[in-house]
Amino acid sequence: MKVLVPVKRVLDYNVKPRVKADGTGVDLANVKMSMNPFDEIAIEEAVRLKEKGVATEVVVVTIGVPKAETDVLLTARAMGADRAILIATEDEVEPLGVAKLLAKVAEEEQPGLIILGKQAIDDDSNQTGQMLGALLGWPQGTFASKVEVSGDRVAVTREVDGGLETVDLKLPAIVTTDLRLNEPRYATLPNIMKAKSKPVAKKTVADYGVDVTPRLKTLKVVEPAKRVAGVKVGSVDELVEKLKALGVAK
C-alpha cells in the first residue's frame, strides 16, 4: 500500500507572527519557515507504517513556493519519505483548491491512505483533509491519536471533545493527525545528505487543470486586542482577597 502525505510550508512555530503595518497580512519576509508541525507527525506515521511492513512507499507532496524543494520536501525525504512531488505556485492556495489538487494527485498515485496534518498553524483552517475525503468519496479519521491498519480497513482513534473515539474505516481512507499520534523523528544530517538523491517530481498548478481561484478575500489583518499585565500579589492571603472580590470565593 502506498501512503501519500501532503505537507505545508509555514512560519516556524517558534517565531512570533508580526502583523504588517499596512494590515494586509502577517510579515513572512526574512523569517524562518518550516514544515507545519502536524505534517511532521503525518510523515512520521507514514514512515512507521512502512517500517512495520504495512506501507510499501511513502510519497510526500506540497503545494507552494519552489523553495520548498530544498527545505520542507528535503526534510520530509530525510525523515523517510521515498519521493516527493512539488506543485509550484507563488500564490496562496486555499484549502478547497489544495484539496482539489490533492484529489488529482490521488487519482494518479492511487494511495491506500492519505495522512495529513489536522490543521496548518498559519491559517488554522482545519479543512483540507475533510474536503479531500468528500471530493474522493473516501472515509475520514480526523484528529487521530492512533492508527491501525488491518487488511482493507483502518481503525482510527480520534481525539474528541469528551475524550477519545474509535472509528473503523474502509480503505482507501483519509487520516488527519493530532498532536499525540507520535513523536516525529529528527531529520539527521546524514539522512539529509542521502535524501538529496531521492527524486522530486516538479509540477505546477496549471499541470492539473484545476481552478484554484480564491473564494475568500482578506480585507484586513489586525493584531488582537492586547491584554496588559496586571498586578502581582505578594501572598496567598492577598490572592484569597482578590478571589473574594471577583466573587468566586466566599
Partner 1 sequence: MKTLVWVEHDNAHVKDATLAAVTAASQLGEVHLLVAGSGCAAVADEAAKIAGVGKVHLADDAAYGHALAENVAPLIAKLMETHDAVLFPATTNGKNIAPRVAALLDVMQLSDILSVEGPDTFTRPIYAGNAIATVQTADKKLVITVRGTAFAKAALTGGSGTVEAVSGEGDKGLSTFVSAEIAKSERPELTSAKVIVSGGRALQNSENFHALIEPLADKLGAGVGASRAAVDAGYVPNDYQVGQTGKIVAPEVYIAIGISGAIQHLAGMKDSKTIIAINKDEDAPIFQVADIGLVGDLFKIVPELTEKL
Residues 120-179 that bind partner 1 (CB under 8 A): 121-135, 137-143, 145, 155, 158-170, 178-179
Label the pairing between strands 83-88 and 113-117: unpaired
Closest approach of Cβ 97 to partner 1, in Å? 8
Given the rule CB under 8 A, which of 45-53, 55-63, 95-103, 186-194 is the region that contacts partner 1? 95-103
Q: How many positions of this chain bind partner 1 (CB under 8 A)?
A: 82
Q: Of residues 34-93, which lie at the interface with partner 1 (CB under 8 A)?
A: none
For 154, phi then psi, to 5°, come to -135, 130
Q: Does 30 bind partner 1 (CB under 8 A)?
A: no
The residue to which cell 490533492 is assigned = 102
Query: Are 166 and 179 a contacting pair, CB within 8 Å?
Result: no
**233 lies in the binding site for partner 1 (CB under 8 A):** yes
Span near partner 1 by CB under 8 A; candidates 56-64, 77-85, 196-204, 239-247: 239-247
Residue nearer to partner 1 on the CB measure, 197 or 235: 235
User: Regarding beta strands 140-150 and 173-177, do their DSSP bridges make them parallel or antiparallel, or are they unpaired?
Assistant: parallel
Under 8 Å between Cβ of 18 and 30: no
In this structure, the strands spanning 83-88 and 9-11 are unpaired
- Residue 181's CB is within 10 A of a number of other CB atoms, namely 25
Minimum distance from residue 201 beta carbon to partner 1 (Å): 25
Rank residues 43 and 138 by Cβ distance to partner 1 and give the closer one: 138
